Homo-oligomer: A and B are copies of this chain.
Amino acid sequence: MKVGIIGATGYGGAELLRILQSHPAFTIAAIYSSSQQGKDITAHYPHLSHLSMTLDEIHPEAIAKQTDIVFLGVPSGISAEIAPSLLKAGCTVIDLSGDFRLKNIEQYEKWYNKKPAPKEWVDQAVYAMPEINRSAIKQDTKFISNPGCYPTATLLGLAPVVQNKLAKEGSIIIDAKSGVSGAGQTASFGTIYSELNENFKIYKVNQHQHIPEMEQMLSTWGYEAPITFSTHLVPMTRGIMSTIYVSLASSVDQAKIEQLYMEFYKDEPFIRIRNNNQFPATKEVFGSNYCDIGFLLDERTGRLTIVSVIDNLMKGAAGQAVQNANILCGLDETAGLQLSPVYP
């Protein structure tokens, strides 16, 4: 299978290149950029200097001919413009942006503060988080909307509890933390090293655009209340931790909850449940496609604390995108993704 990457110079693009160059079934046919076309990727990314690939211009028809699947790794707002023309030209598209995740385009407009993509294309996009809705990804699916990083960590952490109706309505609070690479390569006063090193910041309190994405999924599970969600910037490059607080709707104990998680994810190759009251740390998934989950019930308060960690560039972006591509192509879901975390 021939794959292409649009926006290869971004961090998501770099991660796709890392995975795909040693993927057993995919060959990188071409890479595309709207700002650096004609340059070699190694000019931007010397860490890839064992490769030598020229960045091509973005021509939908050419891309349709050159690729079986194209990964779209451009910022939200840009995808909305590019994806429809790719789809019209016949490409199969896996979009990593937020532009096609919200079925309600008014919600998109409100939370992203951008013009939404046309409703017809939004309707066609399959929001694909394999562990949650694998069956929605058909072999004739032409357009996949890859989930956001925070929603991936958070929903995977919440699914066993919420789907089993254990979460008391209105009680979900998510205190999320991310490494800085989630901000991409935007250079601003707020992203320079000296401002972020030896610093811990909170941002977008209850205003993050991933809130409606999570609520959209929670709603399908019968949890309709708004969530409380805040995000923090950790002085590290990669990694997301979602610390989730839920009041339990019925009386269960820690052992029962452990059993629930073990059962729920028993066949999932990328979910690793910590047992014995252990919690995962972000470094334990660094560079890998795993989502590690731990939890502890506090008998004093009846509240469950769930901790879910991912590598935001892998399971939170490029890794999950390749996982979706594998499903799309009928491959083993773990093809090219059996990368052990890099530790320490």
Mark A residues whose CB is within 8 Å of B. 11, 14, 17-18, 21-22, 45-50, 170, 173, 175, 177, 179-181, 183, 185-189, 191-203, 205-206, 225-228, 230, 232, 234-239, 241, 243, 245, 269, 272, 274, 278-287, 290, 292, 296, 298, 300-301, 303, 305, 307, 309, 338-344
Contacts and interface: CB of A to CB of B under 8 A. Distances in A.
Q: Oligomeric state, in number of copies?
A: 4
Contacts of A22: 338-340
A293 B286 CA distance: 27
Contact of A45 (B50, B196, B200, B343): B343
Contacts of A344: 11, 14, 181, 194-195, 197, 237-238
Contacts of A230: 243, 305
Nearest to A195: B344
Contact of A193 (B49, B180, B202, B281): B180
Contact of A49 (B241, B279, B292, B300): B292
A187 B192 contact: yes
Contacts of A181: 194, 344
A203 to B, nearest CB: 8
Given A232-B243, A239-B200, A290-B50, A300 B11 contact: no
Given A185-B189, A185-B192, A300-B226, A283 B199 contact: yes
A65 to B, nearest CB: 27
